[in-house]
Chain A
């Protein structure tokens, strides 16, 4: 068995009722390890594009792609695992009950991690983050260590093949 690793799929599907349930149901029904799934319409409003990440070995991943492909509602499956990508997640983090020193610290962290402070109150700061899931994981880890009261909402990744760059 090959190693478990994180893989990415872009999925073009019919923009119809029940398609999201069918795709997500495949992952639960067959015990595939779904890590994130985002969906939205494309330039063609009858078509939605999903960005899916899974943790799996090679054989399971092949099977996942085949299973997706055989669904009538699935128009196209693209394996993004080894493709140059633009890959971003949207995340908001609220940090609350901060004293003056801690407020300063949050600002420093935000600057260092290249995320934006978008809202602020007495003892509270809100961060808007548009980086990769991995970077966001790192940020949450730091914030959790430093502050007691944080609230996180994450949107899952969206990805698109790069035009020229190799970066993620």
Chain B
């Protein structure tokens, strides 16, 4: 018997095991929403803005490893998810996003709420297509779910014209799909991996660099076993953080622009860099000519295009991190790296990560209290200084996870992503670490968090500035704070160098803001009040709690390597 496109749409979602969909209705998707209204198997979440929506789906996907599903209308609904698509594309997050489209006959007519969303997003999706024939609908949805979560995961966009949704056609939803141009790699070339392992065996100062790929393939446990069996120290990128427990003696820390001194020194001095699941982003390498200058480089990655793109490697291995590590574990045997580890410990002692403590609440203190009060949690950050402090000072173990926008650096990501993570993990504590800038970029999602009853703890580090840019202005632009003060108004003096008693107190008052949504707000200005605030936040399981930490404007994220400089040139003080 034939069924309508809209019925097949819901049937497909059910067969894919979708339990949650993030959707915002509109003219071209009302049929699909009408069909969703009739099913009990799918939890439909209504956000307050489509950008928030897609970040929520990202948080859901990142925290579960499952596909995040979005449904938005044509035109502005579709364009509003573009930033999230780019974010998911950079950070390899599996999403399937459905956009409504004007009826086939109107496409190209500049119809109301018509945009060529597939064309606009071609370079930031793994795959995107407009459904042009009703009989293709099932196959395309099947393809989308398959493509989104296999190989290097990523976002897929399906644009469904309104008349396809109502047209009748086959009720069949295919159980599998064969795509001749898409064959994700499942195995590993043993010869190549052996070559890589031999190199590791003969190295005197070996270093494992773990990227986000290790976390995506849930290979952290294997990596931990491998580094222990092999006795080789590990550094991570920020996307790789948490791949191995951060308190492990073999774990050094993050490397890169704001990496730990010892981690960057280890990269600079190692004779073998055994890298897994990273694309050697410029934030990791700095000046490419000076990156790991003494090292031979092994690179294991599931994406062939990531290999030898930024850094030319000696041994490329195309494989999923988990598959490669599984094999490596069979060969692993203890190496003597005592001398090398001693050297690393000396670097750690020389320049440990630490912030001043005589200046009110330091970001380090906040992170330390989070570590103590919220262990085994999902930590979600926004983008900026607070993000870097979180990646520097948060301790992660096997039961905790860090979710952050690494590749695109999307301000506004953190709060909605935390909501998505909480919806997917209602029993797990979710802590959102954000700033006064980024939080305001998707502040409307307060309503979503409240209506969904997501009891997340929002740690808002308020320095009244766009701190990361302010930091660059302080260090490299002669303290000309162009457009980074969030309280600045036309009556302020030109050349203002920082807060004074003429400044308005709060723009906005985040505590009142929380209350206006029926959420909870606490302002913390002294270290001794931190734990009480956390204790109160933990009690609020029905709605989010904003804890606003008033921190000094001039806190810097250190160490810092200036963009394009070699990683050895760290600004430490």
Contact = CB atoms under 8 A, between A and B. Distances in A.
A104 interface: no
A5 B138 CA distance: 45
Contact of B303 (A25, A29, A70, A74): A70
B118 A71 contact: no
Given A66-B304, A67-B305, A72-B126, A21 B181 contact: no
A102 interface: no
Interface string B114-145: 00001100110011011010000000000000
Interface string A28-49: 0100000000000000000000
B131 to A, nearest CB: 11
Contacts of B307: 66
A47 to B, nearest CB: 9
A72 B122 contact: no
B305 A71 contact: no
Contacts, number: 45
B308 interface: yes
Contacts of A16: 129
A133 interface: no
Chain A contact patch, size range: 20 to 34
B123 A26 contact: yes
Contacts of A17: 130, 132
B308 A72 contact: no
A72 B182 contact: yes
Contact of A75 (B129, B181, B309): B181
Given A62-B308, A66-B304, A72-B127, A22 B122 contact: yes
A59 B312 contact: yes
Interface centre among A29, A63, A76 (most CB of B within 10 A): A63
A70 B89 CA distance: 13
Contacts of A73: 127, 181
B180 interface: yes
B123 A25 contact: yes
A59 B308 contact: yes
A70 B123 contact: no
B298 interface: no
A76 B309 CA distance: 21
Interface in A1-18: 13-14, 16-18
B304 A72 contact: no
Interface centre among A16, A26, A62 (most CB of B within 10 A): A62
B1 interface: no
A71 B123 contact: no
A124 interface: no
Contact of B119 (A18, A69, A71, A76): A18
A69 B304 CA distance: 9
A167 to B, nearest CB: 32
Contacts of B181: 13-14, 71-76
B72 interface: no
A72 B181 CA distance: 5
B312 A66 contact: no
B179 interface: yes
Interface string B179-207: 11110000000000000000000000000
A63 B122 contact: no
A76 B182 CA distance: 10
Contacts of A66: 304-305, 307, 309
Given A74-B181, A75-B180, A63 B123 contact: no
Nearest to B179: A72
B315 interface: no
Contacts of B312: 59
Interface in B514-562: none
A74 B118 CA distance: 17
B32 interface: no
A135 to B, nearest CB: 34
Interface in B299-320: 303-305, 307-309, 312
Interface in A75-105: 75-76
A57 B129 CA distance: 33
Contacts of A71: 181
A17 B129 CA distance: 9
B180 A63 contact: no
A18 B305 contact: no
Interface of A: 13-14, 16-18, 21-22, 25-26, 29, 59, 62-63, 66-67, 69-76
Interface of B: 118-119, 122-123, 126-127, 129-130, 132, 147, 179-182, 303-305, 307-309, 312
16 contacts: A17-B132, A18-B118, A18-B122, A18-B130, A21-B122, A22-B122, A25-B123, A59-B308, A63-B309, A66-B304, A71-B181, A72-B126, A72-B147, A74-B181, A75-B181, A76-B181
Given A18-B118, A73-B127, A75-B181, 12 more contacts: A13-B181, A17-B132, A25-B122, A29-B123, A59-B308, A66-B305, A66-B307, A69-B305, A70-B305, A72-B126, A72-B179, A75-B180
Of all A-B residue pairs in the complex, the 4 with the closest CB atoms, nearest first, are A66-B305, A75-B181, A72-B127, A72-B182
